Amino acid sequence: MKATLFAESPPRILIVDDDPVIRILLRQFLEGEGYLVDEEENGYAALERLGEQSYDLVILDIAMPGIDGPTVCENITTSLVEPPPVLMVTAIDDEKTVDRSFGAGAVDFIRKPIRWPVLKNRIRYILGSHRSREKMRRLSKNYEMILDAAANGICGVNLQGEISYINPAGQEMLGYSEEEMTGHHYLEFFQLSTPDHDDFEVDCCPFFQEQAKLEPIHFDDARLLHRDGTSFPVDFSATPILQRQKISGGVLVFQDITERQEAAELIRYMANHDTLTQLPNRNYFRRRLPQAISLARRYARKLCLLFIDLDRFKPINDTYGHGIGDQVLVQVAQRLRTTLRASDSVCRLGGDEFVILLESTETAEGASHVAQKAIDLLNQAIEVENHICYIGASVGISVFPDDCTDAETMLRHADIAMYQAKKNGRNCWNFYCEQSAL
């Protein structure tokens, strides 16, 4: 089987021997096998040729004048970035010289006189092994380039728990260099906490422990410590590497999810807050009111709801436009916030309708005081872009458990009371009563 069966171009071989007869015989034999052949008569010329041309194999005589074969071999294996395999040829039956050749990096040797069938198969084996190693090296390099380019942190750990690989993303997230981490135990750098463990002492690779399950593990809502002592949220998983059902290492994959959490938090905020006034919106209020009623019922407390509808707001929109009207609503929201304690809340239901939920007021008189304060604040002139705007407010008040037992009823009663306040002349407050609902 000729060398032309190699999928790539025919291998190129360099013969280095001071005996011209050996060089001729080797060239004839190798070219007959389909190889590309160059030759040199001494080590100096061989090293110069190797600096100019790449070879798949060097056949090198051990005993040569000038610099001998082992010295040439050592120069090849140490000075070239991708050195070719070296096959030593010798007529010397000297164990020390052979050992020295292997120590210099030779992959094999063959004795003179050369047995050509042995040489043929030895060369095919060496070239096949070398090309396989080179292919695996290139493949490994490609995989490493992919891992290096990954946005997620990726870390390889050996059986002893020592870090064998950490990609640039992982280094940046943790704040350490590859040199600082490689060869050290993973627990020195992967200090993990979960909602149940705030001490950053969670073992992220439990499968290394005796009797542990050899299966992947994922940590939800985890946090990792950075080198500077700060922590950041991560999506973290660890997978054991198994060989013959026995653990031989592990792979850690982690992603900084700070931006994802911030985006989710922003989405939650936008879903529960009015974009104009930044007050909690109707969506928030419909969840909060039942919770507040439940707490009031549990602790036998009163709960008061104020339904506020602005007076004389429509003429502002009609006269000055919705841009001015929107800015008036922003100032209304700012003024209503000032009427509240920390445990109370104000929400915009939509349009010019607002509600105030009082959880800190034990009496109806307290609710009426807040209502009057809100009316007084909204009676004050509002200046927007050199326009002086005057509004007022009608406020309806519902009290749990005096006139309602559930959230829907409480909101409806406050709305009814607000309309009664408008009937009473606007710019005033009114408690719900059954007569006002008629």
Q: How far is 222 from 240, CA to CA, in rounded Å?
A: 19
Q: How far is 276 from 173, CA to CA, in rounded Å?
A: 37
* Contact assessment for residue 328 and residue 380, using Cβ atoms and an 8 Å cutoff: no
* Structural domain includes residue 409: yes
**SS3 category, 335:** helix
Burial letters 355-390, b for 16+ CB under 10 A, else e: bbbbbebeeeeebbebbeebbebbeeebebeeeebe
Segment 407-423, tens digit of pLDDT: 999 999 999 999 999 99
* Structural domain includes residue 29: yes
Q: Say what the pLDDT of residue 280 is.
A: 96
CATH of residue 70: 3.40.50.2300
- Composition of the chain by helix, strand, coil, percent to 5: 45, 25, 30
The verdict on 281 and 232 lying in the same domain is: no
Q: Say what the pLDDT of residue 178 is.
A: 94
Choose one of 228, 257, 286: the last residue of a domain. Answer: 257
**Count of other CB atoms within 10 angstroms of residue 265:** 10
CATH of residue 427: 3.30.70.270
The verdict on 239 and 351 lying in the same domain is: no
Choose one of 90, 125, 145: the last residue of a domain. Answer: 145
The verdict on 85 and 231 lying in the same domain is: no
Number of structural domains (the chain) is 3
Q: How far is 208 from 227, CA to CA, in rounded Å?
A: 24
123 to 32, 80, 110, 292, 392: CA distances (angstroms) = 13, 21, 10, 85, 100
Provide the 8-state DSSP code for 280: B
Paired tokens of 429: 């407050």
* Structural domain includes residue 245: yes
Q: How confident is the model at residue 433 (pLDDT cuts 50, 70, 90)?
A: confident
CATH of residue 165: 3.30.450.20
DSSP strand pairing (246-256 vs 86-90):
unpaired
* Structural domain includes residue 265: no
The verdict on 17 and 87 lying in the same domain is: yes
* Contact assessment for residue 4 and residue 34, using Cβ atoms and an 8 Å cutoff: yes
Residue 364 pLDDT > 90: no
Identity at 272, one-letter amino acid code: N
Q: Say what the pLDDT of residue 66 is.
A: 86
Segment 260-299, tens digit of pLDDT: 999 999 999 999 999 999 999 999 999 999 999 999 999 9
Q: How far is 127 from 135, CA to CA, in rounded Å?
A: 12
* Contact assessment for residue 158 and residue 247, using Cβ atoms and an 8 Å cutoff: no
Strand partners, 400: 303
The verdict on 293 and 376 lying in the same domain is: yes
Segment 56-102, tens digit of pLDDT: 999 999 888 888 889 999 999 898 888 999 998 888 777 787 788 88
User: What pTM, to 2 d.p., does this model score?
Assistant: 0.59
* Structural domain includes residue 207: yes
The verdict on 92 and 164 lying in the same domain is: no
Provide the 8-state DSSP code for 118: H
The verdict on 88 and 164 lying in the same domain is: no
Q: How far is 152 from 150, CA to CA, in rounded Å?
A: 5
Q: Say what the pLDDT of residue 141 is.
A: 72
Q: How far is 436 from 434, CA to CA, in rounded Å?
A: 5
The verdict on 253 and 317 lying in the same domain is: no
Residue at token pair 């164990």: 95
* Structural domain includes residue 431: yes
* Contact assessment for residue 89 and residue 17, using Cβ atoms and an 8 Å cutoff: yes
* Structural domain includes residue 267: no
- Say if residue 71 is exposed, middle or buried (CB neighbours under 10 Å; 0-12, 13-18, 19+): middle
Strand partners, 307: 355, 396
Can you give the residue range of the structural domain that contains 40?
3-145
The verdict on 117 and 93 lying in the same domain is: yes
The verdict on 286 and 431 lying in the same domain is: yes
* Structural domain includes residue 266: no
What percent of the chain is modeled with pLDDT above 70? Answer: 96
Q: What is the mean pLDDT of residues 352-361?
A: 92
Helix axes 69-79, 43-52, angle to 10 degrees: 20
Q: How confident is the model at residue 1 (pLDDT cuts 50, 70, 90)?
A: very low
* Contact assessment for residue 261 and residue 254, using Cβ atoms and an 8 Å cutoff: no
Q: Which residues are catalytic?
A: 352
Choose one of 86, 113, 145: the last residue of a domain. Answer: 145
The verdict on 25 and 51 lying in the same domain is: yes
The verdict on 193 and 53 lying in the same domain is: no
Q: How confident is the model at residue 435 (pLDDT cuts 50, 70, 90)?
A: low
